[in-house]
Amino acid sequence: MTDTAVREAPLDRVSDFPAIPPGWAYLDTAATAQKPQAVIDAITRGYAETYATVHRGVYQRSADMTVAYEAARAKVARFIGANTPDEVVFVRGATEGINLVAQCWAATQLKAGDRILLSMLEHHSNIVPWQMAAERVGAAIDVVPLTADHRIDLDAMERMLTERHKLVALAHVSNVLGSVLDATRATDLAHNVGAKILLDGCQAVPRIAVDVAKIGCDFYVFSGHKLYGPTGIGVLWGRGELLDRMPPYQGGGSMIDRVTFARTTYAPPPGRFEAGTPHIVGGLGLAAAIDYVEGIGIDRIHAHETALVRDARDALSAINSVRLFGPEDSAGIVSFAVEGVHPHDVGTILDEGRVAIRAGHHCAQPLMEVLGVDATARASFAVYNGPQDIEALVRGVERVTRIFG
């Protein structure tokens, strides 16, 4: 399919996704996105036709694969507005990216008495690594509350920040609520007190335009599998001067300059943080996913998902026993609860009607406490969803209410 055909085709792109059979409403994209045929084809070619190691071989296929792999890194850099591909570190996913910064920056730069600022809606992956780093160096963690409509309260954050805060780590888009952070303002607030800021972009990158240079943040992470790409590949972007000062995360091949038993010197970033044979074909699959998203247009995707969220919230709010969470303009995600029914039961009954949602605490247990629930049901949208999926969701929830009275 040509780029022109991609742009001109209807945005309900379910036909591009071979793993979505007719009549199945897949509404769990916030957990992981289905893969378009273009990505599957790129992965298949990578293993079946062009596969070779990268960075080491002197034979032609290895050289060609190295060029393709590094072209994928350059494509990621352009996609998120990075100044240079050398600031893009390939990792297994956002979780590894956050852990890398926690161990290689926070655990080496922070000291006893320093403070880290998080928010109440963070994913466990943006909480636990900072707790581990804080315990290691004797730092403390503060938590920004939410506004009444379930956004990170930046006014409260401004009041809380002090010069003792050295790091701020926030979700760009909440994986539970879909609430979008004013990332530029959050960055300015952090920098005003001399703190560095990391943004978790897992839910943002597939849904809204991201430009790390314009935002001004210091670190940005995301996972490829939420961007219609393969699992096992993700991105840590960091400012070059920060990466230069960070020690390596792991030791092994590729991350070295010279090894002797007396002393080892390390490669410059990003190689310093990419020990061992990388997920080569994962990088190619991620590049194909970016091509797919850019062929449609991220603004068009965002408008499509925003319309689906609006229609889903309107339809669900008409059911008396349904409680909705998050702001009205959430990005691609609707979390809800049915009064008197556990979300796992909601998910099971919806599955009987061929509607796939996520039910649980969504790796955000502190947020569940704030919401006053143990878990929520969550529907999340993508380019392969349309009005028929919302209709199926609402029919399923109505069936839940009938079954449970």
- Which residues are identified as catalytic? 363
**Contact of 382 with 331, CB cutoff 8 Å:** no
379 bridge partner residues: 334
Q: 55 to each of 235, 275, 286, 384, how far by Cα in Å? A: 19, 12, 19, 37
> How many Å apart are CA 222 and CA 238, to the nearest integer?
12
Tokens, residue 387: 């009005």
Q: 3-class DSSP state for residue 312?
A: helix
Tell which residue, 274, 251, 331, 242, has the closest CA to residue 90: 274
The whole-angstrom separation of Cα 225 and Cα 132 is: 26
Length of the chain in terms of residues written: 405
- Give CA–CA dist 102/97, Å, rounded: 9
Backbone Cα Rg of the chain: 22
Q: Would you say 380 and 27 are in contact if contact means Cβ atoms under 8 Å apart? A: yes
Beta strand residue intervals within 260-399, DSSP E:
264-266, 322-325, 333-338, 355-356, 358-360, 376-380
Q: Who contacts 191 (Cβ-Cβ below 8 Å, separation ≥6)?
A: 197, 216
DSSP 246-289: SPPSS-SSSSEEEE-SS-EEEPPTTGGG--SS--HHHHHHHHHH
